[in-house]
Amino acid sequence: GEIAFPGGGVEPADSSLVMAALREAEEEIGLDPSGVEVLGVLEPVFTVVSNYLIIPVVAFLHNGIGMVQLQASEVTEIILAPLKRLTDESIYHTEEWTREGQTRTIYFYDFGPYRIWGATARMLKAFLDLLKQG
């Protein structure tokens, strides 16, 4: 029931973080890396509960999402969200959550029947903030 971007750990055969991201996207959703233009990486995101450090990779898909093959053990569907909708302030809100004595701002994007939050929302917010800066 969680919403997440494709991704996972770096394996010994991966020559870089970017190559790991492309491999994971191909494994999880069947994304053909030949149609992907990597634009860069975002600031690392640390996940408090699972204790992961995520390096988000941003890319442009020249041919759109195309035909996909979902890895059923990891992915049940792909959600396509237009940037115009994601930048609509009415779908965004924050809450203050306290865990182990530390208060954190938690971001939420309510998009149709979906709620994007947690690390995925933090990565999305970082990307959208960069877009706003131009």
Confidence of residue 49 (pLDDT cuts 50, 70, 90): confident
pTM: 0.90
User: Cβ-count burial of 50 within 10 angstroms (0-12 exposed, 13-18 middle, 19+ buried)?
Assistant: exposed
The predicted model gives 33-57 an average pLDDT of 94
The predicted model gives 21-49 an average pLDDT of 94
Q: Given this model, what pLDDT does residue 6 score?
A: 94
What the chain holds in terms of domains, given with CATH numbers, is 17-133 (3.90.79.10)
Task: Specify the 3-state DSSP secondary structure of 134.
Answer: coil
Which amino acid belongs to residue 55? I
Distance between CA atoms of residues 120 and 10, nearest Å: 19
Q: What are the tokens at 114?
A: 């979906």
CB 20 within 8 A of CB 45: no
